[in-house]
Amino acid sequence: MTEYICALCQETHTCNRSNEDVWKEVNEIMPESIYDEMALVCDDCYIDFMDWFKSLTTEQKEKMKKESFND
């Protein structure tokens, strides 16, 4: 078990999964992700984020991706 602080809610949580398992899941959902640029978030914040992300139009997602890779 590993403790971490969620990047969104700032609460301390415990993770029962290995980093490899977590990274595999992230890579399946967002294959363009870069490990060093990822933030740790708890399940509740992840669900809220994904609900918001799924509500975006394709154009909004593309704009976000373009802006994030230009930083």
3-state secondary structure labels for all residues of the chain: CEEEECCCCCCEEEECCCHHHHHHHHHHHCCCCCHHHCCCCCHHHHHHHHHHHHCCCHHHHHHHHHHHHCC
Q: Read off the pLDDT of residues 47-62 as tens digits, 9 standing for 90 and up.
A: 999 999 899 999 998 8
Range of the domain at 12: 2-69
Asked if pLDDT for residue 71 goes beyond 60, the answer is no
Q: Report the number of distinct structural domains present in the chain.
A: 1
One-letter amino acid of 51: D
When comparing pLDDT for 38 and 3, which is higher?
A: 3
Q: Read off the pLDDT of residues 20-48 as tens digits, 9 standing for 90 and up.
A: 887 788 788 777 766 666 788 899 998 99
Distance CA 40, CA 57 (A): 25
3-state SS, residue 4? strand
The model carries a pTM of 0.63
